[in-house]
């Protein structure tokens, strides 16, 4: 990817938006970064998903987690649950990436869109 001033500005906006929404409502990677990478940077679905995962390699959520942990009532995080889920998340991420790389770009994009649509409808219409 050519790093023009416009590209750098787009990356700054995507990073800030994903970070703010991650801290605010717990989303950022797939729901925010993947579509924006595709729409504004012209990446393929595979490239956008890989880049989104690469962004999460460093402890990008450390400060957000710290805020939740140190908030009133002894923190809002059950660390035993977080450890179990994170270990299985690593395993699942490995398996899922192997599967995703075998799926055609167009089909992968449709699967991604359907998942976002299902989540959106559930959030909008459930109490």
Confidence (pLDDT) at 57? 73
- Residue 75, pLDDT > 90, answer no
Of 109, 14, 4, nearest in space to 60 by CA = 14
d(CA 17, CA 117): 20
Indicate the pTM of the whole model: 0.72
Confidence (pLDDT) at 74? 59
22-69 residue pLDDT tens: 777 777 777 888 999 999 999 999 999 888 888 877 666 787 788 888
d(CA 100, CA 90): 15
Range 3-14 average pLDDT: 93
Confidence (pLDDT) at 58? 66
pLDDT band at 76; cut points 50, 70, 90: confident
**Mean pLDDT across the chain:** 86
Q: 100: how many CB neighbours lie within 10 A of its CB?
A: 15
Range 90-113 average pLDDT: 91
């Amino acid at each position: 990817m050519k790093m023009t001033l416009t590209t750098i500005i787009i990356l700054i906006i995507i990073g800030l938006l994903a970070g703010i929404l991650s801290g605010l409502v717990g989303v950022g990677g797939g729901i925010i970064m993947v579509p924006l990478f595709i729409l504004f940077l012209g990446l393929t679905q595979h490239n956008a998903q890989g880049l989104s995962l690469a962004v999460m390699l460093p402890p990008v959520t450390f400060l957000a987690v710290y805020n939740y942990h140190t908030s009133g009532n002894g923190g809002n995080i059950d660390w035993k649950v977080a450890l179990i889920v994170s270990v299985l998340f690593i395993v699942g991420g490995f398996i899922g990436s192997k599967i995703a790389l075998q799926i055609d770009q167009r089909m992968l994009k449709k699967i991604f869109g359907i998942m976002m649509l299902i989540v959106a409808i559930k959030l909008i219409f459930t109490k």
